[in-house]
Structure 1
Amino acid sequence: MKSVWKNITRKNDIQLSRQGMKQQLAKGVAWLSAAKLIVNGLSTLSTLILARYLTPDDFGLVAFATTMLSVISAVTELSLASALIHHRNPTDVHYNTAWTLNVLRSSTIGGIFCLAAPWISDTHGDPRLQSVMMILGITLALNGLTNPKMVVLTKNLVFWQEFVRNVAERLAGVTVGIVIAVIYQSYWALIASTVVSQLVSIAVSYLVYPYRPRVSFQHAKQLWSFSIWLTLGQIVNTLNWKFDHLLVGFLLGNKALGYYTVGDNLSTKPTREMISPLETTLFPGFSKIGEDKQRLKSAYSKAQTLVAMIALPVGVGIALLSSSIVLLFLGEKWEPVILVIQIMAGSVALQTLSSAVQPLALSQGQTKLLFKRDLISFAIRIPLIVVGLWTAGLLGVLIGRAISTVVSVHMNMTIVKMIIGTSIREQWLANIRSLTGVVSMVVLVGGLHYQLGVGHSVLQMITHLILFIFVGAVAYASVVLGLWLLVGKPHGPEHECISLLQSLIGKVKARLNK
């Protein structure tokens, strides 16, 4: 079996040299995009269905436990997968070392999480939290068993395995969660979904790339030397993005946290999941051309403008349609979520203007620079959120997040300037057509929404929602393509999308003619 996988890896290397990195990245993006499309669809469907059977308090209870778990996981994250991808020629001993370190780390913090459950439950004043934390702690302990050799395929820009694992784990988790929610209408549906997803993920990782781990510490220092700054950055970054959840849970209660969490999921996941496939392929892709600065600069510009052109209208569109989505699918009991979605979706959309900075910096080994960025962002964001919470409650938290997003985008663009020399002005101008298209979408859809409203009956709500989506899509596409034609059809994201569309149409015609 091992020889078979060696042959597959060898063929992948040959395929990479023949087809070129661009074709391999395109295939990788296609695999990951398909996975994210399915996973995001399943996640959204799960949230909408579970929200019908569960209460905001149920979501808040589980969100409080999972947020603590995320923070603890980040504090101890070793970032060994990135170290293995960055390593030129890792051996089996490197993978064994990574597996050993991950097992020790996950089992230790999983045990600590279980032991702390009674005390945290008493402090929070909710006895249900103890059993929830213990189950999640056991799941975290098992997480370290995940196959580290999955990165072999990632290093070769082969991503079908991510499609298999992501879709399998999400499908299993969503199915179990919905079944339990419908039958028992209990918050355990959320816990069961998380546990089943994790177990399936571990099993699939060994099915798609067979590997028999061994205990080893031989290259621990070598792997740690690369990942230490990533780990520190991950600690700060997670505290940066999860601290507000803990604050809301502690000070405003489970119900407010339930609104906040559901709004966060519905507003940010579609955009982030949409751009995640491209960002995943960019790290190994940028690494392969990292020594050619001019080529790297061109590749970054093409990738970033493509990400923004696709994801920016999605985030803004979700913000514009939030009222229709919440009232139609979740019901009036979730009406406070509308404001959460509007502000968060707009913030995430803005972040897409500099979202490719992470793989760019990683490809250049600039992990310390990323850590400094995360540390500065943390020092700015947390005080804004604390002051906002103190003065205006949940609305203040949302405003604090929005302001910190603007600062974060500027910092990311500054990092891009430091690494490849592209000025901040150039980065904004590169996305000017997408930004103009979004403005036109906001004006037209916003005006139409003001005139028609959400609607009263279910049929009317559906009709209005479809109309808003159609008008927004046409407005955005018309303005972007119109400006592109006006400036002489320069090589950019529009050209890439048209080429891809033509290629797909050609393949469909060829198959139909057979």
Structure 2
Amino acid sequence: AIVLNFVAYSVTSTILVWILLDWRPRRAFSTESARNLWGFSTRIFSATVLSEGTQSLDKVLVGRFLGAAALGPYSLAYSTMLLPSTLLGGALFSAVSPAYSRIQSDKARLERAWLRSKRVSIAVVSPALLALIVVAPDFVHVVFGERWDDAIIPLQLLCVGGLAHSLVTLHWGVLQARGEAGTLLRVTLMSSVVTWAAFAAGLHWGIVGVSAFYAGAKWLLVGPSTWMTTKAVSFDVWAALRAGVDLVPAAVGAAATGLVVRRLVLETALPEALRLILVSSAMFAAYGAIVLAVAPSLVRDIKQVARRRADDGTVHKPA
């Protein structure tokens, strides 16, 4: 059924393209175009393989050296940590990537769009990850059950790493739009090697160690990754590092609100599910109020990205 679904989708989309577009393929071959396309596509493919491999290597190492009993909680924590980046950051990536491609020849305009997108990405992903850090005990118990207690601390540590990853997620899109596949491959290779080393180094301390070293590696990579990306596309590295940083205090303030509320309700007999809802609501309400007060223009930027997302259904793969 899965294979047939994929085949049906491919056939249907191809037929619709032929019906709706006037363009038809011709018997023409350009050696120069083939050479350029081959070089670009092989680098993108290699970067994708490295990225996918890195996302799987930690599970392989944990399963091989720490056993199945450790792999279960770790996989649960890692998958949960990815939710904000996948649902929120992934939607943003798929919305802005086509826009990057359309304005790739206008460097100044592309830089402004990229910096604005980075700011939006940090604004939507960071509060979700910080919220997970605060409510992790209640979230794991309510959603998965108390038998998954071992996943709580790894989840919190992995979310710290996820915060760093949200700062560099859109590097892939701008490098691809500017045709800098070589730099994209080098950045991905550097990130992969450092992350692999972190996974291996953390094994000695179990899944908590793996998670902690992962978080440290991700923060260590923010600077070099940003520098390599901005250098390749001739953007201002300091502007890239500052993009969205002004919103971090708002997210931290919301998380602090959540910690205070959670500490207060812990002293009551409130069920965990209600406590989870109450604390999460308090955090997001606080974050929304702070953002509206200090960065009202951000709301407009988020609405613009949402409209692009609604107009474009293409799915892209972030680094």
Do they superpose with TM above 0.5? yes
Q: How big is the shift at 1:378? A: 2.3
Structure 2 match to 1:201? 6
Alignment of 1:434-513 (within 5 A): 434-453=247-266, 460-484=271-295, 492-497=297-302
SS of the residue aligned with 1:291?
A: coil
Q: How big is the shift at 1:454? A: 9.4
SS of the residue aligned with 1:387?
A: helix
SS of the residue aligned with 2:167?
A: helix
Q: How big is the shift at 1:263? A: 1.5
Q: How big is the shift at 1:438? A: 0.9
SS of the residue aligned with 1:336?
A: helix
1:382 equivalent in alignment to 2:196: yes
Q: How big is the shift at 1:395? A: 1.2
CA distance in 2, matches of 1:384, 1:414: 21
Structure 2 match to 1:137? none
Structure 1 match to 2:309? none
Describe the superposition over 1:177-234 as per-residue Cα deviations: whole angstroms up to 9, x where unpaired.
xxxxxxxxxxxxxxxxxxx55543332332344289xxx9x78766433211112222
Structure 2 match to 1:411? 224
Structure 1 match to 2:24? none
Q: How big is the shift at 1:357? A: 0.9
CA distance in 2, matches of 1:480, 1:202: 45
Superposition RMSD in Å: 2.8
Letter in 2 for 1:303: S
Residues 175 and 233 of structure 2 are in contact (CA less than 8 Å); yes or no, is this contact kept in structure 1? no
Alignment of 1:280-299 (within 5 A): 280-299=94-113
Q: How big is the shift at 1:498? A: 6.5
Structure 2 match to 1:110? none
SS of the residue aligned with 2:15?
A: coil
Residues 262 and 337 of structure 1 are in contact (CA less than 8 Å); yes or no, is this contact kept in structure 2? yes
Structure 2 match to 1:427? 240
CA distance in 1, matches of 2:288, 2:246: 10
Letter in 1 for 2:12: L
Residues 267 and 319 of structure 1 are in contact (CA less than 8 Å); yes or no, is this contact kept in structure 2? no
CA distance in 2, matches of 1:471, 1:201: 42
Letter in 1 for 2:179: G
CA distance in 2, matches of 1:257, 1:417: 37
Residues 271 and 314 of structure 1 are in contact (CA less than 8 Å); yes or no, is this contact kept in structure 2? no
Deviates further, 202-211 or 264-273: 202-211
In structure 2, relative to structure 1, the CA distance for the partners of 1:448 and 1:270 (3 Å cut) is same
CA distance in 2, matches of 1:409, 1:305: 15
Alignment of 1:357-376 (within 5 A): 357-376=171-190
SS of the residue aligned with 2:271?
A: helix
Q: How big is the shift at 1:284? A: 2.6
Letter in 2 for 1:237: S
Of 75, 84, 98, 1:270 maps to: 84
Identity rate, percent: 19
Alignment of 1:21-170 (within 5 A): none
Describe the superposition over 1:301-330 as per-residue Cα deviations: whole angstroms up to 9, x where unpaired.
111111211121112212222111111121
Structure 2 match to 1:134? none
Residues 178 and 233 of structure 2 are in contact (CA less than 8 Å); yes or no, is this contact kept in structure 1? no
CA distance in 1, matches of 2:268, 2:158: 24
In structure 2, relative to structure 1, the CA distance for the partners of 1:414 and 1:222 (3 Å cut) is closer
Could you say which structure has the larger radius of gyration?
Answer: 1
SS of the residue aligned with 1:399?
A: helix
Q: How big is the shift at 1:359? A: 0.8
CA distance in 2, matches of 1:498, 1:282: 13
Which structure 2 residue ranges, 5 or more long, are not aligned? 19-26, 307-319
Q: Which has the higher contact order (CA 8 A, sep 6+)?
A: 2
SS of the residue aligned with 2:209?
A: helix
1:402 equivalent in alignment to 2:185: no
Residues 309 and 434 of structure 1 are in contact (CA less than 8 Å); yes or no, is this contact kept in structure 2? yes
Q: How big is the shift at 1:273? A: 2.1
Aligned length: 294
Describe the superposition over 1:324-370 as per-residue Cα deviations: whole angstroms up to 9, x where unpaired.
11111211111111122212223223322221111100011111101
CA distance in 2, matches of 1:470, 1:394: 30
Letter in 2 for 1:429: R
What is the TM-score normalised by the length of structure 1?
A: 0.53
Q: How big is the shift at 1:445? A: 0.8
What is the TM-score normalised by the length of structure 2?
A: 0.82
Residues 323 and 338 of structure 1 are in contact (CA less than 8 Å); yes or no, is this contact kept in structure 2? yes
Letter in 2 for 1:202: V
